[in-house]
Structure 1
Amino acid sequence: MTNEIIIKSIASNRVRLKSDIFSTKTNIQLIEKEFEDLFTSFRDNIACKSIVFTYSLNVTFDEIFEKLNRLFNISVSIPASNALCEQSSCSNCNLKKHDEKSWKRKIFEFVLLSGYAIYIFVSENILGLTIAATPFSLVGIISLIAAIPLLKESYEDIKQKKFTLHTFMSSTLLLAVFFGEATAAFEIIYILRGGMLLEEYIANKSREEIQNLVELDVKKVYILNDGVEIEIDIEELKQNDTLVCRSGEKIPVDGVIIDGSAEINEAIINGRSEPDFKQKDDEVFAGTVCERGRIFINVIALGNETYISRTMREVEFSLMQKSPSELEADRLANKLLKLGTLLTVGTFFLTGSFTAAFSTMIVMSCPCATVLAASTAISGGIANGAKQGILIKGGEALESVGKSEVFCFDKTGTLTTGKPVINDILTFDDIDEKTLLSYAAMAEYRNSHPIANSIVKYAKEKNIEIRQDVLSEIIPGFGVKSNIDGKRVLIGNKALLTRFKVSIKEHKHEVTTLLNSGKTVVLVALEDKLLGLLSFSHEVRPGTKEMIEDLRSRGVKHIALLTGDEVKVANAFALDFGFDSVFANQTPQGKADAINELKNRYNGVVMVGDGVNDTYAMSKADVAISFAAGGSEAAIAVSDIAITHSHPEDVVNLYDLSKKSLNVVNQNYYIGTGTNLIGVALSALGRLTPVGAGLIHIGHTVGIMANSSRLAIDNNS
């Protein structure tokens, strides 16, 4: 027997497959064992009968399928040759690429439909004219043409032997047109076309933002060839080439430093605002910036194989997966479809009246009550949020916030501004604070490092005179060496003073205490004598502690800190602000794993972040919230909700707004369901015409919108 395998997606060396083969734990375990040496990562989803894996670069796609064939005797429903993407193509084959011509055509078609909808409204409601609604009337022909996209989707469902909303709606709309209710059919089709257009726009916009992120703006690079640096186009760069990167340049590849050293800004990877010092044998990543220094890099990965590109592919893949609530909604919709069909058929057999049955079909087929109950309430909540600078991208996100038991926060850039501020100034051996700051500010005056800027700014605020003629040598990864009035001044870390044989033994306790409290320590030495030290921490956004306390008082069960900071720094911060757990020194993958771990223990996880390094974790969370002020475009694009002012108290405001919106949603369900039940009962009794069925929708629409409008104008949300 041949087993069919469907290639759902493939991007370079990453593949997603679906088959009945993957529905048993025995087969999954066999695959893990047999492909242990070939796969670099592997994930299964038995419930969906699918597996996702990446494989080594020295293995071909065909070799994997040949081995799968030996194990299971497979047939591939999509030929491998047709499924493979080019290196520069899409990151997931099952996503449709945005077609600019097609998009413009759809916009043009919707504008025409809008014009005709206005014509019908004016004719019937203002001029009092009667619009012919027969199958061969103008409105009937336009309705059939406008319904083509929906009919296509229905046809695909029928081919796969599925009975879906598209199937039911298509049947209803066709019957409505051919039995003289073309105007009602047109109104429903018009609303559906608008919804489909909006959905496509949002999907394409998000995909473009992610694609723009991984496209580096580097066009030319330098490689080392026989000891000579040669400029080439980046397209000519190959694995194992030696890339040369200098101060101010963006690194376009993943690789290992084989010579040189530099301070590298890796905020895109780890979220840290301060650059990391890198030297021989250290790894570097595409998208990071060489702020100071020169390094020679052995190229390991480029293009779609870089760490940031792989991370973005994972983000995009995660965004395609339906959440548990969406799956539950699908199951509920399926039940309602069956109920609608049953009631329609039952009405016909009980009454013998096609008109009564048709009225029931119109009541049950158009999901206005269910959709409006949530959508208008959520729209009111979204409008209220916008007034407060909280931009909510969808109804499910707003609903889910109030149901979530866990809130996770990134630290740097989210709860802190990323700006280092001076916390402590310690002086030794009768040196006064002003003298210490004067030496530090003069030495750091021309340094662009964030800590140097903070020292200079603080000295100016204290009205300390700063000479600008002082020459300083910046030593990447250590600090600054300067000459002031013929004397050597050192400003930097312990390693800098050790390098120049300046002892800090007498004050080791003070230094260790500050480091253990999570602060950054900068030492100041004159010649061979330690004058004192400055300690720094990142500026915390006002209201952070109050936000955590308010969330806990409202019933949030667990509040976690997810950060790329070192363990001591993260633990000290978490202790000060009352977090329930802390995940320190985390990569983007580590943060995503932490989200998954919390999802296994709690119902509903919210992730709040601001940087590219947070996007993978945000895509794994039930709700992703970005702090947009100063945040990365990628985080904003991936997030479900963007808090524009980055005020911590807005997270609490959002939680309250979500709870109030959910209450209004429930009230609207009673209104919508009640009117639909009345409509079905009247139809069964022969008291409701198809036009009356349409009036039922208008009636509950007005009631629902009036109820939801309270949210939009509520200033206390």
Structure 2
Amino acid sequence: MLKIAIKSHVQGRVRIKSEYFSSANEAQLFTLLQPFVQEFRHNALARSLILVYDHTQTSLEALLALISNHFNLKLPPSTTVTVLEESYCPSCTSCSRCEVAAKHPQTWRHKLITFGVLSGYALYLFIKETLLGIVVVASPFSLTAAVALFAAIPLLQEAYSDVKAKRFTLQSFMAFSLIAAIFGGEVMAAFEIIYILRGGMLLEEYTAEKSKRQIHNLIALEMKKAYVLVDDVELEVDLESIKEGDIVVSRSGEKIPVDGEIIDGKAEIDEASINGRSEPAFKEKGDVVYANTLLHRGRIYIRVSAIGENTYLSRVIAKVEASLALKSPSELSADRLAAKLLKLGTFLTGATFLVTGSWLRAFSVMIVMSCPCATILAASTAISAGIARGAKQGILIKGGESLELVAQSEAFCFDKTGTLTTGQPRLVETHLHKGVSLEELITYAARAEQRNHHPIAEAILKEAKHLGITCNDEEPSEILPGLGVKLVHQGTVILVGNAKLLTQNSVNVTALHRVAQRHLELGQTVVYVSVGTNVLGCMAFEHEVREGTQAMLEGLKARGVKHLVLLTGDEVKVAHAFGEKYGFDEIYANVMPEEKADVIKALKAKYRRVVMVGDGINDTIAMSVSDVAISFASGGSEAAIEVSNIAITNSNPRDILKLYDLSSQSLHVIAQNYWIGTSTNLASVAFAAFGALSPVMAGAMHIAHTVGIMANSSRIAWGIDNNS
């Protein structure tokens, strides 16, 4: 029975993986699938296919059956293709490692216990041999040999998977060297090497993979329930049961669960997660609304046009996933490194034997070159330390490559709303009509807004509290979506809202027009207050900028970042007022998600690396095509956290500078570690070739330079500067 692992799947797009794809003929595959798919990508190295298809014309099952027939698999007529949904795999450093992990899954607790047992046995050998002076039996059939083989099982499984797939890799070379060491009488050297290797693998997995899995487990995009209108009765139903054409009801404070058209009602809807707009949009009959947007105030009836995987949100996620699927630099880098080590180790081992004629010397060289600690740990320990230090500071880094690229990036792009601003308005200025006091203006405004949960209403009530003004009136105000609020207090009408609201109620606002226009040009929101037919004044609000934003932008410039870009869905005046104030080199206003991605692609053609910092669903496509995606996780959308390479949990702009400095230090330490590892390896090979280094001493050299590398890397985790 054919087993195909689904790496990712949304409606109309699937990434599948099978060992058969490693040797498949790409031209034949394309000819076979072209009539049924819209897009086709074959990655033989990763043994995967990425297919984009029209789900209304074909199905996933039909495509899988087509592929199974192509490989001439003799399946019984009643047998169906078994699809195995893979668990989340944050990074794939080796195809064979993923395959072994899938076939022989081990819990983190099991791996930790195994390494603990190995550590206990290593301590036993040290005490017995070094402290007590008792010679340890180290024959191929001794306990030490058995323990070494047991510790090497994961490596032997990977090597077997490679050999079966007709690949000779570093895993194969290392496995052969370990077996040769054991049955060649160098059991202690074999144990030392596999012990160091298992420790390095455990450290790397703990620091990198655990961080990614924790972030992945935070993501929960699905809504479970919604209200549907059935025969004039609102019924709560499972979201899965809603069909296209149903009427869904949404009220103030709720997230809209579907895409659709408003057939009745009106509301103010926060669409920042979709288009990045800082102000709620006024929607009424005939307007389109999107799933996962927040209904601030109002009540609407929505005729469903799309649910589940067909919603705008899901389509954005699909585009994000498609962009991410094209990236596999970590896997390619690991393969290139393994190939170089394999070639060099094989060459030096063979050359030593040919020149010296000594199997013992050649064997020592083989042991030196069979363990990749010197080169792999040089980077992985520094990156692991950087990831660990970042986590302590509330910076969750999903992979070493992302950490490295931050300091190598020449352009940084920022979303505005929710990223550089908190999304909460604050009162910046008031203008009073002649004879009106500030306390009078705020009192009437607070009286009308006291039961309103709109962000501007909350800012007014905050100002009232600051002035010591309390309102305990019982009269309910009328919320007018898109306009403001209206309150009838002791027979007098109080209006708090925009100019349109006051004009509709015969209140003249001409006297405040000039100052209001000035605030509007600065991208601020103007709210008028009137009592009866008399305007009392107006208030100007702007979204609160996160503390440290200015220092962060200036700090990036000081560190050598060449280009700062603002990408926002805000209107032109709002965007340019903000961008010019904070010193951005380029400003893009009123941009939709796809347009943000186009800007990122254009910047990548001009600058070496591009970073995208955002927090909303509207940022995810741009984040997915950037070299490094950074999300502000506090209050940010789940989709942005999922697609980002790095999550700033506290949403503090200053953490961007901490991240940049951490990246710079990690790169510097990696360079130092490569020097330590390479120099000791070359010296060890030279000594081994001249007979001055026995196989056991070769293993000891690994311990020495590994300790040196890890000690150097630990400076990052402890926050010790490179110049210290």
Q: TM-score, normalised by structure 2?
A: 0.84
| 1:158–1:449 CA distance, 2 compared to 1 (3 A) | same
Of residues 638, 654, 660 in structure 2, which corresponds to 1:655? 660
| 1:109–1:393 CA distance, 2 compared to 1 (3 A) | closer
Q: Conserved in 2, the CA contact under 8 Å of 1:260 and 1:296?
A: yes
Q: CA deviation at 1:277?
A: 2.9
Structure 1 residue 58 corresponds to structure 2 residue 56 = yes
Q: Within 5 Å, which residues of 2 pair with 1:469-618?
A: 469-505=474-510, 507-618=512-623
Q: Give 1:218's aligned residue.
A: 224
Q: Within 5 Å, which residues of 2 pair with 1:634-645?
A: 635-636=640-641, 638-645=643-650
Deviates more, 1:130-139 or 1:207-216: 207-216
For 1:120, the aligned partner's letter is A
Of residues 60, 65, 70 in structure 2, which corresponds to 1:75? 70
| 1:517–1:664 CA distance, 2 compared to 1 (3 A) | same
Q: Give 1:235's aligned residue.
A: 240
| 1:160–1:274 CA distance, 2 compared to 1 (3 A) | same
Q: Conserved in 1, the CA contact under 8 Å of 2:572 and 2:590?
A: yes
Of residues 146, 149, 165 in structure 2, which corresponds to 1:160? 165
Of residues 111, 115, 118 in structure 1, which corresponds to 2:117? 115
CA distance in 1, matches of 2:487, 2:62: 60
Q: Within 5 Å, which residues of 2 pair with 1:126-137?
A: 126-137=131-142
Q: Within 5 Å, which residues of 2 pair with 1:681-700?
A: 681-700=686-705
Cα deviation, 1:122-178, whole Å, max 9, x if unaligned, reads 332455544433333233234334433333332332333333222222222222232
Q: Give 2:465's aligned residue.
A: 460
CA distance in 2, matches of 1:77, 1:507: 80
Q: CA deviation at 1:247?
A: 3.1
Cα deviation, 1:324-354, whole Å, max 9, x if unaligned, reads 4663453243223211111111112222222
Structure 1 residue 300 corresponds to structure 2 residue 298 = no
Q: Give 2:339's aligned residue.
A: 334
Structure 1 residue 262 corresponds to structure 2 residue 257 = no
Q: What secondary structure is seen at the aligned counterpart in 1 of 2:493?
A: strand
Q: CA deviation at 1:427?
A: 2.5
CA distance in 2, matches of 1:601, 1:47: 31
Q: CA deviation at 1:102?
A: 6.6
Of residues 404, 417, 421 in structure 2, which corresponds to 1:399? 404
CA distance in 2, matches of 1:195, 1:313: 36
* Structure 1 unaligned residues grouped into runs of 5+: none
Deviates more, 1:359-368 or 1:508-517: 508-517
Cα deviation, 1:672-709, whole Å, max 9, x if unaligned, reads 11111111111221222111111211222233344444
Structure 1 residue 284 corresponds to structure 2 residue 289 = yes
When the two structures are aligned, how many residues end up with a matched partner? 698
Of residues 669, 675, 682 in structure 2, which corresponds to 1:670? 675
| 1:151–1:702 CA distance, 2 compared to 1 (3 A) | closer
Q: Conserved in 2, the CA contact under 8 Å of 1:209 and 1:633?
A: no
| 1:6–1:250 CA distance, 2 compared to 1 (3 A) | closer
Q: CA deviation at 1:266?
A: 3.6
Q: Give 1:11's aligned residue.
A: 10
Q: Within 5 Å, which residues of 2 pair with 1:147-186?
A: 147-186=152-191
CA distance in 1, matches of 2:437, 2:314: 52
* Structure 2 unaligned residues grouped into runs of 5+: none
Q: What secondary structure is seen at the aligned counterpart in 2 of 1:471?
A: coil
Q: What secondary structure is seen at the aligned counterpart in 2 of 1:403?
A: coil
Q: Conserved in 2, the CA contact under 8 Å of 1:123 and 1:130?
A: no
Q: CA deviation at 1:44?
A: 6.7
CA distance in 2, matches of 1:504, 1:47: 69
CA distance in 1, matches of 2:174, 2:315: 40
CA distance in 1, matches of 2:430, 2:317: 43
Q: Within 5 Å, which residues of 2 pair with 1:351-370?
A: 351-370=356-375
Deviates more, 1:496-505 or 1:565-574: 496-505
| 1:423–1:488 CA distance, 2 compared to 1 (3 A) | same
Q: What secondary structure is seen at the aligned counterpart in 2 of 1:404?
A: coil
Q: What secondary structure is seen at the aligned counterpart in 2 of 1:287?
A: coil
CA distance in 2, matches of 1:630, 1:556: 27
Q: CA deviation at 1:115?
A: 1.6
CA distance in 1, matches of 2:636, 2:99: 27
Q: What secondary structure is seen at the aligned counterpart in 1 of 2:244?
A: coil
Q: RMSD over aligned Cα, in angstroms?
A: 4.2
Q: Conserved in 1, the CA contact under 8 Å of 2:631 and 2:647?
A: yes
For 2:11, the aligned partner's letter is S
For 2:123, the aligned partner's letter is F
| 1:129–1:82 CA distance, 2 compared to 1 (3 A) | farther
CA distance in 2, matches of 1:383, 1:203: 12
For 1:584, the aligned partner's letter is A
| 1:586–1:166 CA distance, 2 compared to 1 (3 A) | farther
| 1:474–1:234 CA distance, 2 compared to 1 (3 A) | same
CA distance in 1, matches of 2:145, 2:351: 28
Q: Conserved in 1, the CA contact under 8 Å of 2:297 and 2:454?
A: no
Deviates more, 1:349-358 or 1:126-135: 126-135
CA distance in 1, matches of 2:705, 2:695: 16
Q: CA deviation at 1:45?
A: 8.9
| 1:345–1:511 CA distance, 2 compared to 1 (3 A) | same
| 1:170–1:236 CA distance, 2 compared to 1 (3 A) | same
Cα deviation, 1:247-280, whole Å, max 9, x if unaligned, reads 3333332323222222334444345565433322
Q: Conserved in 2, the CA contact under 8 Å of 1:110 and 1:194?
A: no
CA distance in 1, matches of 2:686, 2:714: 29
Q: Give 1:422's aligned residue.
A: 427
Q: Conserved in 2, the CA contact under 8 Å of 1:368 and 1:697?
A: yes
| 1:647–1:234 CA distance, 2 compared to 1 (3 A) | closer
| 1:161–1:102 CA distance, 2 compared to 1 (3 A) | closer
Cα deviation, 1:435-463, whole Å, max 9, x if unaligned, reads 22222111111111111010111122123
| 1:517–1:405 CA distance, 2 compared to 1 (3 A) | same
CA distance in 1, matches of 2:167, 2:703: 31
Deviates more, 1:442-451 or 1:301-310: 301-310
Q: CA deviation at 1:405?
A: 0.7
| 1:52–1:261 CA distance, 2 compared to 1 (3 A) | farther
CA distance in 2, matches of 1:317, 1:157: 28
Deviates more, 1:99-108 or 1:152-161: 99-108
For 1:82, the aligned partner's letter is V
CA distance in 1, matches of 2:550, 2:542: 16
CA distance in 1, matches of 2:443, 2:706: 70
Q: Conserved in 1, the CA contact under 8 Å of 2:499 and 2:528?
A: yes
For 1:471, the aligned partner's letter is P
Cα deviation, 1:574-623, whole Å, max 9, x if unaligned, reads 11111112233344444344333322321112222334544443343322
Q: Conserved in 2, the CA contact under 8 Å of 1:123 and 1:129?
A: no
Q: What secondary structure is seen at the aligned counterpart in 2 of 1:463?
A: coil
CA distance in 2, matches of 1:395, 1:210: 17
Q: TM-score, normalised by structure 1?
A: 0.84
Cα deviation, 1:374-398, whole Å, max 9, x if unaligned, reads 2343445455555655454543333
CA distance in 1, matches of 2:180, 2:55: 56
